[in-house]
Amino acid sequence: MNFLAVIGRVAISFLQAAGKIGLFAVSGITHMLTPPYYPRELFRQMINIGYYSLPVVGLTTLFTGAALAVNIYEGSSRFNAESTLPTIVVIGIVRELGPTLCGLIVAGRVSASMAAELGTMRVTEQIDALVTLSTDPFKYLIAPRILATLIMMPLMLVVVADTIGVLGGYLLATSKLGFNSGNYMKSTIDFLETIDVMASLTKATVFGFFIALMGCYHGFNTRGGAQGVGISTTNAVVSACIMILLSNYVVTEMFFSS
Amino acid sequence: MTDMVPKISLKGLRKTFGPKVVLDSVDLEVMPGESMVIIGGSGSGKSVTLKCILGLLIADGGSIKIDGQEMIGISNSDRREILTKFGMLFQGAALFDSLPVWENVAFGLLAQRLYNRTDAKEIAIEKLRRVGLSPDVGSLSPAELSGGMQKRVGLARAIAANPDIIFFDEPTTGLDPIMSDVINELIVECVKDVGATAVTITHDMSSVRKIADNVAMIYHGNIIWTGPKNKIDHSGSDYIDQFINGKAEGPIKMEILKG
């Protein structure tokens, strides 16, 4: 009986949290679409989320692209199918590894940063101060963060992640595995289809939304002091990563299941 | 008798957090131009009263009127309109650490689109000067300021838009006695300058004697005494006597968890 009660409590609290996050998301989107707008704040967030994430995203995908090329070469050589390497690298990076790795890295960097910043603002009464200054915290704090992530994830970070990931495979293949540079590029371009790029950018947009939503939701609802900020930051990163992996499967199914 | 409409009127204000009743039935009137100080021990409901007036907490019952207009149940846009009449100095100053000092002071002016950035900066520098800070402080980050300077910047932000009502939440907490007196002096001068009504919550009796015209004491979620500052030493209330003299013995029982 106690066991059932525990399951019931967990189910209810999960549904409550899902409902609250859903309402928070709707409110965030509504405030994003209606004035007043804060372009200065939006620009600041775009720089912070997009520009400052570039080095870590680039490095991660460069080495992943190179490692992927080594693995595919080693595996495909068992069937004398080494020539498929460029095709598999580009499809693997663009469809899957580029957006997913980029999402997970940005979740670690940006979700944590948003949760910590907003959480600290909450516990030091800065969010209350905004209200007393006739400023809607949703419009000033939440909307620019969501919009900036929605813009920077697909238009900058994932494009860079995909490009550098493919470049990593190319550099490794041409320098160590004996591939011809021109042939490698031709195979890459010939086998990359529009739907691959569409899927990559769609994933980037969806991941960006969850990264900002989880960072903002957990930060905005922080309770307590330093410990509360720590808990919010952890929850933001963990929930953003889970949502990225879950939505990755859903978007992949949407694009490629048939 | 006067027909003057109170600037702030609380009637039967009630607020609970789960089973805990923080405000039972608070009745209080603050007249225009008056400086009201609300005193009371930790956990007596002072901050909750202030947050209910500001709309940061939603009251469970009763009435909050500003200039005769009911605040409970009004729309968010109407509330934001009324909030433009308010200034607030927070206990920890609550400065926005992502913005330089001058933008903190000018935040309300810029948010309400009252001035462009150049004019707002000029006003901010003037307000900083008013609270005894030099113009070069304007370009610093809040993290570079001492506690006393942060309080001054918070005060400059509170008076920047010449509000009708200014709220002070424990304005001298964490400051040394001399800096406390400086802040108290500034509060009196600034409130007089802008001709505002002031509501202060504190348990610092030197602040009370410096700032207050009238004093209200809150205990267990009710206002148990209200009167002019000069009557506080002869109030006839054992609660007031215990509080202002800081005695452990008396009718006020502090809630202390014993291990």
Split at pLDDT 50, 70, 90, the class of B134 is very high
Beta bridge partners of B28: B10
B88 — contact with chain A (CB < 8 Å)? Answer: yes
Residues of B in contact with A117 (CB under 8 A): 98
pLDDT beyond 60 at B1: no
- Find, among B165, B126, B133, the residue nearest to B148 by Cα: B133
Output the DSSP codes for B128-180: HHHTT--GGGGGS-GGGS-HHHHHHHHHHHHHTT--SEEEEESTTTT--HHHH
Confidence of residue B111 (pLDDT cuts 50, 70, 90): confident
Question: Residues B250, B242: contact at Cβ < 8 Å?
Answer: yes
The per-residue pLDDT for B63 is 96
What average pLDDT does the segment A70-90 reach?
94
**What contacts B53, CB < 8 A, 6 or more positions away?**
B8, B10, B64, B66, B71, B167, B199
A25: in domain? no
Window 122-181 of B, Cβ < 8 Å to A: 157, 167
Tell me the percentage of chain A whose pLDDT exceeds 90.
96
Express as a percent the part of chain B with pLDDT over 90: 70
pLDDT tens string B120-133: 999 999 999 999 99
Q: Which residue of B has its CA nearest to A123?
A: B94
Cβ contacts from A onto B, under 8 A: 53
Residue A26 belongs to some domain of the structure: no
Measured between CA atoms, the residue of chain A closest to residue B95 is A126
For residue A17, what are the CA distances in angstroms to A127, A218, A242, B84?
Answer: 22, 11, 15, 34
Residue B95 DSSP SS3 = coil
Q: How do residues B201-244 score in pLDDT, each as one tens digit?
A: 998 899 999 999 999 999 999 999 999 999 999 888 888 999 98
Put simply, whether B206 touches A (Cβ < 8 Å) is no
pLDDT given for residue B80 in this prediction: 86
Choose from A124, A133, A140, A141 for mutation: most chain B CBs within 10 A: A133
Pair B199, B234: CB distance under 8 Å:
no
pLDDT tens digit string along A159-216?
999 999 999 999 999 999 999 999 999 999 999 999 999 999 999 999 999 999 999 9
Interface of B with A in 35-54 (CB under 8 A): 51, 54
Nearest-neighbour CA in chain A from B206: distance (Å) = 25
Contact B111 A131 (CB under 8 A): no
CB contact under 8 A, A133 and B90: no
Q: Which residues pair with B63 in a beta bridge?
A: B11
> Does residue A194 belong to any structural domain of this protein?
yes
The backbone torsions φ and ψ at residue B70, rounded to the nearest 5 degrees and listed phi first, read -70, 130
Query: Is B50's pLDDT higher than 60?
Result: yes
A169 lies in which domain range? 39-256
Per-chain mean pLDDT for chain A: 96
> Token pair of B110, please?
């810029």
Across the range A210-228, mean pLDDT stands at 96
Nearest to B56 among A128, A134, A136 (CB): A128
- How far apart CA B176 and CA B245 sit, in angstroms, is 20
Residue A28 belongs to some domain of the structure: no
- Virtual torsion, Cα B60, B62, B67, B71, nearest 10 deg: 30
pLDDT of residue B25 exceeding 90, the answer is yes
pLDDT-based confidence at residue B2 (cuts at 50, 70, 90): low
pLDDT at B247: 84
Q: Which residues of B touch A219 (CB under 8 A)?
A: none
Contact between A136 and B91 using a beta-carbon 8 Å cutoff? no
Helices and strands in chain A: count of H runs, count of E runs: 13, 0
Q: Report if residue A33 sits inside a domain.
A: no
pLDDT at A14 over 90: yes
Local confidence band at B259 (pLDDT 50, 70, 90 cut-offs): very low
Number of domains in chain A: 1
Give the chain A residue whose CA is nearest to the CA of B112: A134
pLDDT digits (tens, 9 = 90+) for B151-185: 999 999 999 999 999 999 999 988 888 888 988 99
Mean predicted confidence (pLDDT) in A92-118: 97
For A67-97, b/e burial (b = at least 16 CB within 10 A) is ebbeebbeeeeeeeebebbbebbbbbbbbbb
A23 touches chain B (CB under 8 A): no
Interface ipTM? 0.89
Whether residue A87 is contained in a domain is answered as yes
Does some domain include residue A105? Answer: yes
Please, what's the largest Cα pairwise distance for chain A? 70
Nearest chain A alpha carbon to B113:
A36
Residue B194: predicted pLDDT: 85
Cβ atoms of A244 and A207 closer than 8 Å: yes
State the average pLDDT over residues A119-136. Answer: 95
> Which of A43, A134, A138, A140 should we substitute to test contact with B (largest number of B Cβ atoms within 10 Å)?
A134
A17 part of a folded domain: no
Q: Is B21 on the interface with A (CB under 8 A)?
A: no
pLDDT beyond 90 at A140 = yes
